[in-house]
């Protein structure tokens, strides 16, 4: 396994500072949140080269560009064309940055509210993205995310079954799956199998109401619920079964840490990285 920091955790800093702190944390790479002030579909070619040069100098890989484009399932055709155009511009940066995966959002609503046409429309546009990405040897990754047509393993596999290209797969995200109230342990890893291309790690906790730092509201099958973003071990998403399964199955891909708990960015990522190392030790992992 290789470990990356999510640059979105450092979004208040420049990409240069985000890279430096990721190196200081001892991680293998950085997953770049593809929005300013880091890298976006409108970032100049010169700046893209600069980011790659700094990353190389620090010995960091850039495995993923975490795009924010997509939402195809509920967008108009004109909006989908614009999102596809943004995707193409971001895809053009992958070669220079050395990225092999680009995140695209399939769109909403929650899987339990979605209709057949939501899946069909999203699959059509994702196939178009996949076709372009395949020309460059890049994979499209879809995050298992609450308030999405792909918020459970079942709904993710349903969407993937409609996509013709095989370079589209899922990001396993136990924190998101905890919010959705779906299985995120061993069975989820086994069921996704080779269609699990990437892993995100963060913790969450249900609370009575929003208002405190780090809290937010989300629609789930239970109705509107409140949550607080937490550091690993301080929330309610038990990641140990996930890491046990990753070790059991010989997962050798990337794991991105993206804690958004109300603590200083460097501090919360250091806490989570140390916690991940302890879970790996319990799972019998030897790098």
pLDDT given at position 53: 97
For the chain, domain boundaries: 2-204+235-282
pLDDT given at position 267: 98
Q: What is the pLDDT of residues 50-87, one digit of tens each?
A: 999 999 999 999 999 999 999 999 999 999 999 999 99
**32 has a pLDDT exceeding 80:** yes
Residues 107 and 69 sit within 8 Å (Cβ to Cβ): no
Q: Please enumerate in sequence order all residues whose Cβ is within 8 A of that of 213, keeping only pairs 6 or more positions apart, or say none.
A: 262
Element (H, E) at 178: helix 174-180
* pTM of the predicted model as reported, rounded to 2 decimal places: 0.96
Tell me the CATH class for 2-204+235-282.
alpha beta
Only one residue has tokens 């004109």, namely 78
What the block records as the tokens of 166 is 């095989």
Q: What is the pLDDT of residues 101-116, one digit of tens each?
A: 999 999 999 999 999 9
Distances (CA, A) of 287 to 1, 3, 29, 277, 284: 7, 12, 16, 11, 10
Q: What is the pLDDT of residues 82-108, one digit of tens each?
A: 999 999 999 999 999 999 999 999 999
pLDDT given at position 162: 98
How big is the CA angle at 150 (ends 147 and 152), to the nearest 5 degrees? 95
User: Rounded mean pLDDT of 260-278?
Assistant: 97
**286 has a pLDDT exceeding 90:** no
Residues 173 and 148 sit within 8 Å (Cβ to Cβ): no
**287 has a pLDDT exceeding 80:** no
Burial per residue of 106-145, b for 16 or more beta-carbon CB atoms within 10 angstroms, e otherwise: bbbbbbeebeeebbebbbebbebbbebbeeeebbbbbbbb
pLDDT given at position 77: 96
User: Rounded mean pLDDT of 263-274?
Assistant: 98
Only one residue has tokens 């769109």, namely 107
> What percentage of residues in the chain have a pLDDT greater than 70?
100
Distances (CA, A) of 110 to 180, 192, 218: 9, 19, 10
């Amino acid at each position: 396994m290789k470990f990356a920091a999510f640059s979105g955790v450092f979004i208040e800093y420049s990409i240069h500072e985000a890279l430096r702190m990721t190196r200081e944390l001892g991680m293998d790479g950085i997953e770049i949140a593809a929005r300013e002030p880091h890298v976006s579909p409108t970032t100049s070619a010169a700046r893209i080269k600069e980011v790659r040069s700094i990353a190389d100098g620090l010995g960091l890989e850039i495995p993923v560009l975490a795009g924010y484009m997509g939402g195809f399932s509920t967008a108009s055709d004109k909006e989908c064309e614009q999102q596809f155009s943004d995707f193409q511009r971001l895809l053009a940066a992958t070669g220079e940055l050395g990225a092999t995966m680009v995140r695209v959002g399939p769109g909403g609503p929650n899987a339990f509210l979605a209709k057949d046409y939501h899946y069909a429309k999203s699959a059509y546009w994702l196939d178009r993205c996949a076709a372009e990405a395949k020309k460059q040897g890049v994979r499209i990754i879809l995050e298992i995310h609450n308030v999405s047509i792909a918020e459970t393993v079942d709904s993710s596999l349903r969407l993937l079954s409609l996509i013709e290209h095989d370079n589209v797969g899922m990001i396993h995200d136990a924190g998101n799956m905890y919010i959705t109230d779906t299985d995120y342990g061993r069975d989820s890893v086994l069921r996704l199998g080779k269609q699990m291309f990437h892993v995100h790690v963060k913790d969450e906790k249900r609370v009575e109401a929003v208002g405190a730092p780090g809290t937010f509201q989300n629609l789930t099958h239970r109705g509107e619920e409140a949550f607080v973003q937490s550091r690993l071990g301080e929330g309610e998403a038990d990641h140990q079964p996930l890491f046990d399964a990753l070790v059991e199955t010989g997962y050798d891909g990337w794991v991105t840490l993206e804690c958004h708990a109300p603590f200083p960015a460097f501090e919360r990522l250091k806490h989570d990285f140390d916690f991940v190392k302890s879970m790996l030790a319990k799972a019998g992992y030897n790098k």
